[in-house]
A = this chain, B = another copy of it.
Amino acid sequence: MATKDSKMSRRPGFELKTPKGTRDWVGSDLAWREDILFSSLTYKSQTISSVFKRHGGTPLDTPVFELKEVLAEKYGEDAHLVYDLADQGGEICSLRFDLTVPFARWLAMKKITHVKRYQIAKVYRRDQPAISRGRLREFHQCDFDIAGLYDPMIADAEILSIIAEVFEALDLKITIKINHRQILDGLFAVAGVPDEKMRSISSALDKMDKMSWSEVKREMVQEKGLLEEVADRIGDYVRRSGDIYEVLQFLESNPGFSANENMKAGLHDMRLLVSYLEALDVVNKVSFDLSLARGLDYYSGLIFEIITKPPSGNVAVVSGEGIQSSEQRKPEPSQVGSIAAGGRYDSLVGMYGKRPIPCVGVSFGVDRICTVLEERREKAQKPKIDVYIMAFSGKDSNGFLLERMMVARQLWDAGIRAEFAAKVKPNLPQQFKAAKDLPLAVIFGQDELSAGQVRLKVLLPDNDENDTKDRGQLVSREDLVEEVKKLLKITISN
């Protein structure tokens, strides 16, 4: 035990903490998240993973780190946020940045041509953390993706249905903002954006959920060098966002747009999508947002982002109100931003293998969803133990430790959650304090023990050792489990 006496706290300057942007999760906070993802306490069978399963999803678990080359050139200007492992000899690796790239790597490596897979795991980004707003460097993602060559927009529509079903299960009102990369490209082209400025103008437009149109326009014109009249045309198009039928109508009726090949292809996709979303009863949750651009490089078709705001259904129509209406669409301070997002990425898998495998998928921001649902969470701590096993500690009592242990084992074997004081001779006030807020106590006394019995006492709602009126019922040791179950009215489950 060479290190027994070294104390890190004595080292000058060392602060005992988790690494920047990370935190521990414990007890009810952790249980709350598990509940939303997996278990069936709060939301019964309506959890995220049960929605995934009823769509035939296969679970996937990939290593927390990947070969650095696998992640290279996938994240555009965010690439510097990737965590690298130290070079300790051997392969150079990085922590996963999302779950999409490991999925694409797995598809290519295993030569899988079609699958529905889901993955729930932590991802890592060396971003500026804002822990109070739930923005961490280690955070959870929860992805569902459909890979395979199918008829157009059917898989895309199923993904949007999954999104609708997940938030219906969580009883959360949402809007699915959708757009299409080819429509965006067409729109830029028709507005007069030069080819070489397409991506930077797209990035600027993507900030519409954080800034007003006038700020976005300033960035386009002053920083990116776009002609003001081109920027104004973009602003004019973009303020048409809202009702999906009206936006489609607007785009289809404009001869300038319908002459653009990208726009034509995108509009064809969107018309198909609308008919599928009608059949799937999802269309009323969808808003067509021409300002939605999405940062990541790999999207190639439909893109979407989910916010908690309900759809307005309103489309600003008076040209002069373009700027005004965009400013009104600035997010509420209470909003956490998008709580899920995704899109179609048909070329990513082809970067790893010989065959391009078309994919479409969604990533749910688990931590943000937990933040949004937080208000609804029951603050009252549920008892985590059913029965506390106590000893009356008179002068001639030996503390009944072995007897308490035997009863504990009896209850554990029956699936009942039980505890006892880890003391040979515990005193009664300490035991009642430990049993605070628990439902039941088994109490050992010498008289009862001699008669092969224990006392079984209902403790809730307020436990008090001075409550001498109710000393509990006398129960024989053989009947104890049955009586406890009866009082707990539980069907033993997990």
Contact residues of A between 199 and 222, Cβ < 8 Å to B: 199
Contact residues of A between 134 and 190, Cβ < 8 Å to B: 138, 146, 148, 150-151, 154-155, 157-158, 161, 165
Binds B, one of A247-255, A262-270, A346-354, A462-470: A346-354
| Of the residues B67, B83, B384, B492, contact of A45 by C-beta under 8 Å | B492
Docked-complex contact A66 and B422, CB < 8 angstroms: no
Sample (21) of A-B pairs whose CB atoms are under 8 Å apart = A2-B199, A3-B297, A3-B298, A7-B352, A16-B70, A18-B67, A20-B91, A24-B63, A25-B61, A45-B492, A46-B415, A54-B411, A54-B415, A55-B419, A63-B138, A83-B85, A151-B423, A158-B422, A279-B405, A280-B409, A281-B409
* A293 to B: closest C-beta gap in Å: 13
Once A1-B347, A8-B352, A16-B352 are accepted as A-B contacts, the answer to whether A138 and B64 lie under 8 Å apart by CB is: yes
A31 at the interface (CB under 8 A from B): yes
**Number of copies of chain A assembled together:** 2
Once A155-B422, A161-B409 are accepted as A-B contacts, the answer to whether A109 and B16 lie under 8 Å apart by CB is: yes
* Separation of A38 and B47 alpha carbons in the complex (Å): 15
Docked-complex contact A422 and B150, CB < 8 angstroms: yes
* Separation of A146 and B419 alpha carbons in the complex (Å): 12
Extra A-B contacts (5), CB below 8 Å, given A9-B353, A150-B422? A19-B93, A25-B61, A27-B60, A30-B60, A54-B415
* A34 to B: closest C-beta gap in Å: 8
Docked-complex contact A416 and B54, CB < 8 angstroms: yes
Docked-complex contact A122 and B154, CB < 8 angstroms: no
A73 at the interface (CB under 8 A from B): yes
Docked-complex contact B494 and A18, CB < 8 angstroms: no
Report B-chain residues with C-beta under 8 Å of the C-beta of A485.
Answer: none
Docked-complex contact B165 and A412, CB < 8 angstroms: yes
Report B-chain residues with C-beta under 8 Å of the C-beta of A126.
Answer: 88
Report B-chain residues with C-beta under 8 Å of the C-beta of A325.
Answer: none
A392 at the interface (CB under 8 A from B): no
Query: Chain A interface residue count: which class?
Result: 35 or more
Report B-chain residues with C-beta under 8 Å of the C-beta of A91.
Answer: 19-20
Report B-chain residues with C-beta under 8 Å of the C-beta of A492.
Answer: 45
| Of the residues B16, B86, B158, B422, contact of A148 by C-beta under 8 Å | B422
Docked-complex contact B419 and A73, CB < 8 angstroms: no
A227 at the interface (CB under 8 A from B): no
Docked-complex contact A422 and B59, CB < 8 angstroms: no
A373 at the interface (CB under 8 A from B): no
Once A9-B354, A40-B494, A422-B154 are accepted as A-B contacts, the answer to whether A59 and B27 lie under 8 Å apart by CB is: yes
Which 4 A/B pairs are nearest by Cβ-Cβ distance? A150-B422, A22-B63, A279-B405, A84-B86
Contact residues of A between 1 and 56, Cβ < 8 Å to B: 1-4, 6-9, 11, 14, 16-20, 22-27, 30-31, 34, 38-40, 45-47, 49-51, 53-56
Docked-complex contact B9 and A54, CB < 8 angstroms: no
Docked-complex contact A18 and B66, CB < 8 angstroms: yes
* CB closest residue in chain B, given A418: B54
* Separation of A418 and B158 alpha carbons in the complex (Å): 12
Once A73-B6, A109-B17 are accepted as A-B contacts, the answer to whether A417 and B53 lie under 8 Å apart by CB is: yes
A65 at the interface (CB under 8 A from B): yes
* A19 to B: closest C-beta gap in Å: 5
* A306 to B: closest C-beta gap in Å: 18
Docked-complex contact A64 and B279, CB < 8 angstroms: no
A260 at the interface (CB under 8 A from B): no
Once A24-B61, A126-B88, A161-B409 are accepted as A-B contacts, the answer to whether A419 and B56 lie under 8 Å apart by CB is: yes
Docked-complex contact A54 and B276, CB < 8 angstroms: no
* Separation of A29 and B23 alpha carbons in the complex (Å): 30
* CB closest residue in chain B, given A18: B63
Once A354-B9, A415-B45, A417-B56 are accepted as A-B contacts, the answer to whether A154 and B423 lie under 8 Å apart by CB is: yes
| Of the residues B85, B199, B417, contact of A54 by C-beta under 8 Å | B417
Contact residues of A between 217 and 232, Cβ < 8 Å to B: none
* A321 to B: closest C-beta gap in Å: 34
| Of the residues B4, B16, B350, contact of A108 by C-beta under 8 Å | B16
* Separation of A226 and B117 alpha carbons in the complex (Å): 58
* Separation of A415 and B416 alpha carbons in the complex (Å): 30
* A118 to B: closest C-beta gap in Å: 11
A432 at the interface (CB under 8 A from B): no
A335 at the interface (CB under 8 A from B): no
| Of the residues B58, B280, B298, contact of A408 by C-beta under 8 Å | B280
